Chain A
Amino acid sequence: EIVMTQSPATLSVSPGERATLSCRASQSVTSNLAWYQQRPGQAPRLLVYGASTRATGIPARFSGSGSGTEFTLTISSLQSEDFALYSCQQYNDWPWTFGQGTKVEIK
């Protein structure tokens, strides 16, 4: 199965600062990569699909990039509601697999 590796595991950022999250696939997933946000006690929410397309209603401060095996989620200016767990997921091959997540915490 395709192994998804996210880094860092935890990212400490001050409100208003930029956050850059990385996701690496063990083999190419082309652009079949999604990012999800999960606030404590809540279900995951789709942020980005197709590696770079924002889902409906997602603010423009969230942007995704990359293809193949290297992907990035950037949050341009962190708001209080953005402190959460972020997971990448490939849907190129079965079984679909997730990264272990990056926790974005308040610095």
Chain B
Amino acid sequence: QVQLVESGGGVVQPGRSLRLSCAASGFTFSSYAMHWVRQAPGKGLEWVAVISYDGINKYYRDSVKGRFTISRDNSKNTLFLQVNSLRAEDTALYYCASSYCNSSNCYNFDYWGQGTLITVSS
């Protein structure tokens, strides 16, 4: 069955960095776009970034542009999120999620991991 397992979260001070990973199995990882979605404590879901199936195209929400970098290694079925210059407002549970994209559109999230928690605190 499909599994997405995130890791790499932790407690960090403002301004520091972390690298999140998401290990995928049970589906053809290299055929799917992959996303990071976050959820602050007690808040709703917030899309963060997406990377195309081949790693060429990447998009970010404005609040993380220049600080977060999404990447993938299709040979290892793994998605990454490098998070730099962390702020208190980045505190959240970070989920990876898959979606199918064709040449013109991307579609809903199909599968989600269980999330990894980033807490930014001094």
The number of residue pairs between A and B whose CB atoms lie closer than 8 Å in the complex comes to 50
A60 at the interface (CB under 8 A from B): no
In the complex the two chains form, is A43's CB within 8 Å of B45's CB? no
Contact of A89 among B45, B61, B115 (CB under 8 A): B45
Known interface pairs A43-B114, A43-B115. Does A98 touch B108 (Cβ–Cβ under 8 Å)?
no
Binding site of B, secondary structure by majority: helix, strand, loop or mixed? strand
In the complex the two chains form, is B107's CB within 8 Å of A91's CB? yes
In the complex the two chains form, is A95's CB within 8 Å of B108's CB? no
Chain A residue at minimal CB-CB distance from B47 = A96
B59 at the interface (CB under 8 A from A): yes
Could you jot down 19 A-B contacts, CB within 8 Å? A32-B108, A34-B108, A34-B109, A43-B112, A43-B114, A44-B45, A44-B97, A45-B112, A46-B110, A46-B111, A49-B107, A49-B108, A87-B44, A89-B108, A91-B106, A94-B59, A95-B59, A95-B61, A101-B44
Known contacts A34-B108, A98-B44; 20 additional CB pairs below 8 A are A32-B108, A36-B45, A36-B109, A43-B95, A44-B95, A44-B97, A44-B109, A46-B110, A49-B107, A49-B108, A50-B108, A87-B44, A89-B108, A91-B107, A91-B108, A95-B62, A97-B47, A98-B47, A100-B43, A101-B44
In the A-B complex, the 9 residue pairs with the smallest Cβ-Cβ separation, listed nearest first, are A34-B108, A43-B112, A49-B108, A100-B44, A98-B45, A96-B47, A95-B61, A101-B44, A43-B114
